[in-house]
Chain A
Amino acid sequence: MLAPNGELHRFLHSEIASEEALDVLLFLFRNRQHAWSSEEIRGRLRIAGDATAVSSAIATRRIELRLVHLAQKQLVRMTAGASTYRYEASDGKTDAMIAELAAMTDDDLAAAARMIYVRPRSGADAFADAFGVRKGRP
């Protein structure tokens, strides 16, 4: 498992809602030269790939909602006039963090998924732990 990165952990926990949203974001990051529709993303990520037309439509709609959410977080941008999306981080720092995240998921996808759901340690937690006498704790 990779060493935990506090800033990356906080970013994942606060900005990314699920593993699927993470997959969508990283897909757009890795294929940032193009703009993609939710239908294309669903096909490329093989989400509900062999399901019925109805469940495929539901999955496409769900990805559309993930994209809207990512756009609200200023991680992707909707292209003008078309319902396609392109990766576009709001600043260089976020861009560097997503590049780090992409490298991390190549090595340890489970660690990245865990960071989405596990609350990052706050300063108050660290403060309380400093006075702990349990073994293995500072």
Chain B
Amino acid sequence: MMLLLYVLCFAVSATCAFLLLRAWRTSHVRLLLWSGIGFTGIAINNLILVIDARVAADYSAWRSAPTLIGLLVFIWGLAEERRG
């Protein structure tokens, strides 16, 4: 049951990342790039969570790094957008 939940989390975040990056490719609105990278980080986190649950290993330390990087890029992008 938990594995299914993790897979769904991965699918949703990966879909968001895909939609945002696809929209960025056509519109070139930078906010979409930053948020797409942010969601990619979250998707990678969720993927590692799935692997974690599947192989019963503990990758919790590794898991946080992509989310941290993705969200930092996203926050930096938001600040850049505000600065113009």
Contacts and interface: CB of A to CB of B under 8 A. Distances in A.
A2 to B, nearest CB: 16
B32 A127 contact: yes
Nearest to A123: B31
A56 B42 CA distance: 64
B29 A123 contact: yes
Contacts of A131: 16, 19
Nearest to B20: A130
Interface string A90-128: 000000000000000000000000000000010110110
Contacts, number: 35
A138 B29 CA distance: 12
A84 to B, nearest CB: 33
A126 B19 contact: no
B31 A138 contact: no
Contacts of B28: 6
B32 to A, nearest CB: 6
Interface in B26-67: 26-32, 35
With a 10 A CB-CB cut-off, give which of A127, A130, A138 has the most chain B CB atoms: A130
B27 A138 contact: yes
Given A123-B29, A126-B29, A127-B31, A138 B23 contact: yes
With a 10 A CB-CB cut-off, give which of A123, A127, A129 has the most chain B CB atoms: A123
A138 B81 contact: no
Contacts of A130: 19-20, 22-24, 32
Given A123-B81, A126-B29, A138 B22 contact: yes
Interface of B: 16, 19-20, 22-32, 35, 81
Interface of A: 6, 121, 123-124, 126-127, 129-131, 138
